[in-house]
A and B are shown apart, each in its own frame.
Chain A
Amino acid sequence: MKEKVESFLHSKLSNYIFKDETVTSNIPTYFIKSEGIVPVVKALKEDPELKFDFLNDLTAIDWLGKKDPRFEICYLLKSPKNKHFRIMLKVPVEDGEGVPSILSVFKGANWPEREVYDLFGIEFINHPRMDRLILPDNFQGHPLRKDFPLEGFGQDYLISNLLHIHQED
């Protein structure tokens, strides 16, 4: 199955491959250029042989100081037809760059993409509602970035209206 996916990617979508790098992992990993993620995911989903039509997870990694570009968006795809075979697609992005949203292929990517935006600050282009999902709307910063301090920058501004209690005499 791994060879099939590899030959499929190299024969039909070779112009979208970012680099060929073997990752020590039990899941085959492929690096895709950011402008190619939508056609690659669409092709893998619609191919009658491969049929990667289940998006297991969509998340990101911050490689601050270890890799360049800094971030990697990870798409974990599963093919229920082929004994639930899984592959990982990684899209390297630099800070401030955007990634095309795969919402047109997988509807379930809506909230994971918003979560990645919430915690890492990576924008998804063509997403219908690129707002914070989990944290309060007035939250400053993106806490899963490696340069965000664990305790925050002093978080009292989030409950500033609660910290003073008015009393009636």
Chain B
Amino acid sequence: MATVTYSQASRHYPGTDRPAVDKLDLEIRDGEFLVLVGPSGCGKSTSLRMLAGLEDVDNGAIYINERDVTNLPPKSRDIAMVFQNYALYPHMTVYENMAFALKLRKTPKSEIDVRVKKAAAMLQLEDYLSRKPKALSGGQRQRVAMGRAIVREPQVFLMDEPLSNLDAKLRVQTRSQIATLQSQLGITTVYVTHDQVEAMTMGHRVAVLLDGVLQQCDTPRALYDTPANVFVAGFIGSPAMNIKTVTLSDDGGIFGQMVLPLTRDQIAKAREGGDGKVTVGFRPEDCQLVSASEGGMPIVVDLVEDLGSGANVYGHTAINGSEERFVVATERRTSVNLGDTVFVKPRTDHHHAFHATSGVRI
């Protein structure tokens, strides 16, 4: 049971001109499942490794339960980590792998046995305790790595993309298992992934990072509904939000003949240093296909991804002379064909506006 606090924590690799993690401020509550997400190279793994003690903290501090752990070695932090490639000890059996950390702490043999058996039962590994890792499948190895963390009963779990080596189906299955397990155990968890679907489905809160800078940290719903800037808006959600920088009028953003209405407040903010432009975004699923007379934007269909439950329609249109691409998620059984021209109208009040130069939500 622990809280974790990053306070202005930075990591600057020698020989690079910008920090890998830049003044990270983050508070993780007791028992919370926090997901760090971002594109590769955004510093999410580095942040996690700083918390683990595997990476130096150049500036700022990290606290676990208000205890400053910034300069403590990993073993004094009472954390357990699950690695992307599992990092099992190949010469030890599953049982020995899970018992290793406990043995190091001189836990009595009988207690080790109880805890390992309990964790093995949770993870359906009882039949494999005497096997070596090489005799296990990928999913089983992943569970052993989880088990090795669970038996420790640590203050904090750290997971570094633990699902990325599993195949798609197993990944979805294990995703829900991990989330369930975490809520059963109630141990504070920091989870790193590059997959926004994983982040949205597993996290109590999600922290989005880009270039070492924290962009936004909030609940999945809040990230989806009110992204703090253009990057978060484009990163969260699949297919990605349609985001275009268009000319600003007195009523809103001009998309060809269509105008996306903005409030007076938003227009005023967009005008400040916005150079007469505004960045407007609307999600593919917040659109309707309408008839030509209803004032939608005409789009020529380039590609239709039929998912069964619905379809993603990719198309293009010309705005101010340049070709712009759009994605629209249509409902089930709407038939759209390649080369058709459809008329798209975003649902009222479901679009997002950002400052054209700074990208900040307005």
Q: Do A and B bind each other?
A: no
